[in-house]
Amino acid sequence: MSQELSGKVVAITGAASGIGLACAKAYVEAGARVFLVDRAVDQLERVCGELGETAIPLVVDLLDPQSIETMMPAILAKAGQLDVFHANAGSYVGGFLLDSHPDEWDRMLTLNVNAVFRTVHAVLPHMVERKTGDVIVTSSVAGHEPIQWEPIYTASKNATYAFVHTVRRQFAQHGIRVGAVSPGPVLTALVQDWPKENLDKAIAAGNLMDPKEIADAVMFMLTRPRTVTIRDIVILPAGFDV
Q: State the DSSP code for 54.
A: T
Domain boundaries in the chain? 9-234
In DSSP notation, 127-156 reads HHHHT-EEEEEE--GGGTS--TT-HHHHHH
Measured CA to CA, the distance from residue 96 to residue 151 in angstroms comes to: 8
Higher pLDDT, 164 or 206: 164
pTM of the model: 0.92
User: Percent of the chain having pLDDT more than 70?
Assistant: 91
Task: Tell me which residues are annotated as active site.
Answer: 153
pLDDT 10s digits, 136-192: 999 999 999 888 889 999 999 999 999 999 999 999 999 999 999 999 888 776 666
First to last CA, the chain: 35
Architecture of domain 9-234: 3-Layer(aba) Sandwich (3.40)
Please, are residues 116 and 87 in contact by the beta-carbon 8 Å criterion?
Answer: yes
Higher pLDDT, 202 or 207: 207
Instruction: Give residue 1's pLDDT.
Output: 42
Please, are residues 208 and 163 in contact by the beta-carbon 8 Å criterion?
Answer: no
Higher pLDDT, 206 or 153: 153
